[in-house]
Structure 1
């Protein structure tokens, strides 16, 4: 299958392109800068999701789209929400418009997020949990999901939304350089790229981490499973309970040095956020073989230190 990957130059985009190619598909990298397209891409299309004309051209000869292009920082979305609505919602609407202009129905997999659920009290979180985002990022992703579901219901495409929890680790030497996220920030501190890690409260908050390779494999399974006229949402998480303190301890063991931390007052955030991923496991056969915390950290550490190593 020829599959367009929007946001292909990003952290997850590199992993998805690699996973599609390994499966025998022909991934087409949709990027703003052709020089940043992943090497595994079968072809490159230059454009922007906020430019409808470039999207119409890019989808002309593909059978499916993995839609990853988005703004994805929660705190940034609270401070400046309008760019999130422009990119995450308008960008998705532009893509849906381009796909529905075609004669044949396409397959569409959207990179969604657990943030659409807000802070549910029932854990782990299933796809039946109410949609109640608490920040603009989650709200824009929920809107994109709903738009895709509405268009799919017309029969003009088949769509799946993959609601990721916390993606980490590395594939093919591409670390996550977003140091606003917990694991990349911990590794950055250990590599000397950041001074310290701020920890809210006692570090006992629990999160669900999934390896980027396992997340990428979910996209491959989903693009193969789309059915015209249907939309489906799947949670993607390991289901493993991992506290902030667990991450610190594992990072210290892997890097061989203590993590320099700054203790902050407890924040107004959920104590536990865990994925119920039974639906994707049972319906698509997805598994998370790489999502052990030690492998996530080891892969991320190796890629980060290699990427930032000084030339000889």
Structure 2
């Protein structure tokens, strides 16, 4: 039996593939390489270049490889871009996910782990935000993910597909062994952008909005190390294999840092004082969002290992330096 990882050549997906291979699993990666990289996929995994919306291809992979579980990362993830081009997000994130779920049900796949997002909460009424709190996405990105959550729950009720939905907060850092990391060109993730500014790859960093109702006026987010997030996926898969019930779980650390706090951390860890410009708010950005994350620990037995902003930043810096030596 094998595990199908969609988006497995991308940032988070490639970390998952390495973790699965490390654990001795047979892994098939499906990625269109629009934002992923061949080098990020370990040679022990089979890489298939294709689209998650290609039902014939996905069905063939499920049958040929005896796929037991799907870990579904593939998605478009840039909030402002989703506001500007919503239909692309509903196609890539929602319609393609609907096709994946259909193929899973038809092909007899037992387990489905879905990469969702804290964006489903919108601007939460309370912080930390819990899994049962109201869902009110502020962007097509958040809505596209919420639609997939609903489809997955309905498919489970109708067809018995075991699933775990993991709602990510802000993912950062890199594999501590430096096998993979955030390699996307023109990335918008704050820590990635700040690291590039520290290393002279960007002339400056823009802070979007300084008038939010937060202690320093900038957005507050819960930053989780990518390796801890991947561990939650491995725990989710173990949970489902052992007969665990479907679950929807937050993945964060339960505390937030403002944009300015993150920038100051990058400056301190890197030893570089780079330029910071203040800019207007971007559409779709909530003021503050931090995870209530006890449920993942209780249900999955998840135990984070890298809960430290300095460590997250240092790993991101180390990966960016290594990336600069690679011929991509």
TM-score by length of 1: 0.93
Counterpart CA distance in 1 for 2:44 and 2:11 is 14
Question: Residue 105 of structure 1 contacts residue 156 of structure 1 at CA under 8 Å; is this kept in 2?
Answer: no
Q: Which residue of 2 aligns with 1:182?
A: 190
2:271 pairs with 1:249: no
Q: Which residue of 2 aligns with 1:120?
A: 124
Question: Residue 29 of structure 1 contacts residue 37 of structure 1 at CA under 8 Å; is this kept in 2?
Answer: no
2:228 pairs with 1:214: yes
Deviations 1:207-248 (A, max 9, x none): 100000011111111112227795321000011221222212
The 10-residue stretch of structure 1 (60-69 or 42-51) with the greater mean CA deviation from structure 2: 42-51
Deviations 1:100-159 (A, max 9, x none): 112x45100000000011111211010001111111000000000110100011243101
Question: Residue 251 of structure 1 contacts residue 259 of structure 1 at CA under 8 Å; is this kept in 2?
Answer: no
The partner residue of 1:150 within 149, 154, 157 is 154
2:104 pairs with 1:99: yes
Question: Residue 80 of structure 2 contacts residue 282 of structure 2 at CA under 8 Å; is this kept in 1?
Answer: no
Q: Which residue of 2 aligns with 1:270?
A: 286
Q: 1:225 to 1:245 in 2, by over 3 A?
A: same
Q: Which residue of 2 aligns with 1:38?
A: 41
Q: Which residue of 1 aligns with 2:213?
A: none
Q: Which residue of 2 aligns with 1:58?
A: 61
Q: Which residue of 2 aligns with 1:293?
A: 309
The 10-residue stretch of structure 1 (140-149 or 33-42) with the greater mean CA deviation from structure 2: 33-42
Question: Residue 110 of structure 1 contacts residue 162 of structure 1 at CA under 8 Å; is this kept in 2?
Answer: yes
2:322 pairs with 1:306: yes
Counterpart CA distance in 1 for 2:140 and 2:192 is 23
Question: Residue 186 of structure 1 contacts residue 248 of structure 1 at CA under 8 Å; is this kept in 2?
Answer: yes
TM-score by length of 2: 0.88
Aligned length: 310
Q: Which residue of 1 aligns with 2:92?
A: 87
Structure 2 portions without partners, runs of 5+: 211-215
Question: Residue 220 of structure 2 contacts residue 257 of structure 2 at CA under 8 Å; is this kept in 1?
Answer: yes
Q: Which residue of 2 aligns with 1:197?
A: 205
